[in-house]
Each structure stands twice: as C-alpha cells, then as structure tokens.
A and B are shown apart, each in its own frame.
Chain A
Amino acid sequence: GENVEQHPSTLSVQEGDSAVIKCTYSDSASNYFPWYKQELGKRPQLIIDIRSNVGEKKDQRIAVTLNKTAKHFSLHITETQPEDSAVYFCAASPNSGGYQKVTFGTGTKLQVIP
C-alpha cells in the first residue's frame, strides 16, 4: 500500500520568513495530493491540493509543487504569519474521484515566531 513520509516533524520560522514542508510517496498510482492544516484543538481542514497533471499550484501565500518522477511534493508558505502556526499534513490518494484511500504523512508542527 501507499506510504507517505513527511519532513520535518517540527519547524520554527520567524514571522515573515518562508516555510517549506516536504513529502514523498511510494505508490506511483497516486495522483491526488492534498494538504491539511490542523490548528491546536481543532479539526484538520483542507488548505490546498494538487493533481498529477499539474506541477505547481498557488493560492495567495501558499503553493504546492509536485515532482511525479521523484515521487515527492512540497508545501511552500511565504511571508509566514502567527496564524500559520499549526500542524500540517500531506496526503496522497490514487484517485481524486471515487472512494480511494487517502494516506496521510505524520505531520509537521509549524511554529511561527512573532
């Protein structure tokens, strides 16, 4: 089955700096890669996703890149703000449609220092 590895497990950055979280996956059939943000004491929520026919996707200060050949994808947050502090999870799924299993990484705790 799919295995998703995520690094680093913790990340501290100064407010205004950029943060990068990296994930690798094992199943070449995976073609949908969502990222979820979980604030302290709250539920995970989707913040951005990318499909395998796209190499990069941006949404304001957040961007995700995908390298299917190397089987890795990354989350980039620019101009970090204290409200970006949370645990971020990457995930991979073999199909964006239907009911395919979504496999999550182990999470990255991001701390933005004011």
Chain B
Amino acid sequence: KAGVTQTPRYLIKTRGQQVTLSCSPISGHRSVSWYQQTPGQGLQFLFEYFSETQRNKGNFPGRFSGRQFSNSRSEMNVSTLELGDSALYLCASRGLEMPGELFFGEGSRLTVL
C-alpha cells in the first residue's frame, strides 16, 4: 500500500507569511503526528491527531496549528513565519496493528527568507 505522502516537498516563504502543509497517511491509519526537524535539535514533536481530534501537543507557539479531516488527511499551518521556522517538517502515521511504529513521510522542507 502507498506510504505517507506529504505536499509540497519544498517551499520558500518570506517572513510574516503563512504556510499550509499537507499529509496523507497510510490507508487505514487514523493517527497523524507532525514533527519539526532541524540540525542539532532532532525531531521535535508538534502535535498528533486521531479521529479529527488533537490528542497530544508539543511545546510550540500558537502560530503552529493543525487539523485532521474525516479521511484522516492532516494539514499543518504556520502563521506569521519567522526565520527560525526554516526546517524539515515531517508527518508520520500510526496504525492500530502496530501503534508503536511511526511511518514517516519524506517531509516538507520550508525555507523562510
């Protein structure tokens, strides 16, 4: 079956703009998590959605938000972009058959100028 799909793969924005990233999980997976990856900081947890409800949330400012649709697809939005928001944003889905394993997408690389 198809893996986790993220769009767009690359994007460039300027400070103050906003951005929306999309993630389609593996078919049948209802949980989608978002992570920010930067050099030296590893994978920092943003939030996790299950059945359209946010289940967990990391320590990011309110500029970072997300949502999940009834088909389990998820979007992440960052408003009022700052230079420090430049990063690789990874989403991951989890299934009931192996809830521990996260299946990652290839990520959306955001550059803020």
- Residues of B at the A interface (CB closer than 8 Å) are 4, 31, 33, 35, 40-45, 48, 50, 55-56, 58-59, 90, 94, 99-102, 104-107
* Interface residue tally on A, bucketed by range: 20 to 34
In the complex, which of the residues A42, A44, A99, A107 contacts B55, with contact meaning CB atoms closer than 8 Å? A99
Contact: A44 with B48, CB < 8 Å? no
Q: With a 10 A CB-CB cut-off, give which of A6, A99, A106 has the most chain B CB atoms.
A: A99
In the complex, which of the residues A36, A42, A97, A102 contacts B33, with contact meaning CB atoms closer than 8 Å? A102
Contact: B33 with A43, CB < 8 Å? no
| Besides A6-B42, A49-B101, A106-B42, 12 new A-B residue pairs in contact (Cβ under 8 A), listed by A number | A34-B100, A43-B104, A43-B105, A44-B43, A44-B104, A93-B100, A99-B50, A99-B55, A99-B94, A103-B45, A104-B43, A106-B41
Contact: A104 with B107, CB < 8 Å? no
